[in-house]
């Protein structure tokens, strides 16, 4: 994401597990990539990151962040309620739709154009 008023990139990572210290290393890699590939250091403020996890132990987060070089926040989020999740298609159903669409697109790409009149 890009914060327009602060002129800075914000890297957000969503984990569907509890916080683990190694998540910070992965997030730091993403921040480094944004800084190297996208950020213009002459006009953009330093990139910050936000790690969203389904759970966290405050002491573990505090110790893991103690040596972090770049600004990072760790927050807890809650997933969709079970009723909302039940209304969504399954991963298999989504995969089938994607595969069908890919097959359809390949058919269109490989089809011979109609003859010109």
| Residues 55-92 pLDDT 10s | 898 898 988 888 887 788 888 877 667 777 777 788 88
* 87 in the same domain as 98: yes
In a domain, 95, yes or no: yes
- Confidence (pLDDT) at 11: 94
Q: Name the strand (E) or helix (H) holding 86.
A: helix 82-87
* 87 in the same domain as 64: no
- Confidence (pLDDT) at 32: 93
Task: Give the residue from 33, 31, 29 showing the smallest Cα distance to 47.
Answer: 31
- Confidence (pLDDT) at 80: 67
* 58 in the same domain as 6: yes
* Residue tagged 């250091």 (tokens): 41
Going by pLDDT thresholds of 50, 70 and 90, the confidence category of residue 46 is very high
Domain count across the chain? 2
In a domain, 117, yes or no: no
For range 42-48, the mean pLDDT = 94
Sign of the Cα torsion 4, 30, 71, 80 reads positive
């Amino acid at each position: 994401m890009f914060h327009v008023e602060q002129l800075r990139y914000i890297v957000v990572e969503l984990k569907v597990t509890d916080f683990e210290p190694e998540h910070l290393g992965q997030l730091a890699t993403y921040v480094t990539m944004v800084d190297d590939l996208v950020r213009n250091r002459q006009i953009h403020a330093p990139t910050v990151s936000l790690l969203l996890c389904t759970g966290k132990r405050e002491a573990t987060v505090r110790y893991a962040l103690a040596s972090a070089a770049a600004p990072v926040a760790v927050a807890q989020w809650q997933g969709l309620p079970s009723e909302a999740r039940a209304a969504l298609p399954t991963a298999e159903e989504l995969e089938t739709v994607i595969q069908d669409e890919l097959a359809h697109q390949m058919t269109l790409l490989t089809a011979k154009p109609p003859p010109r009149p």
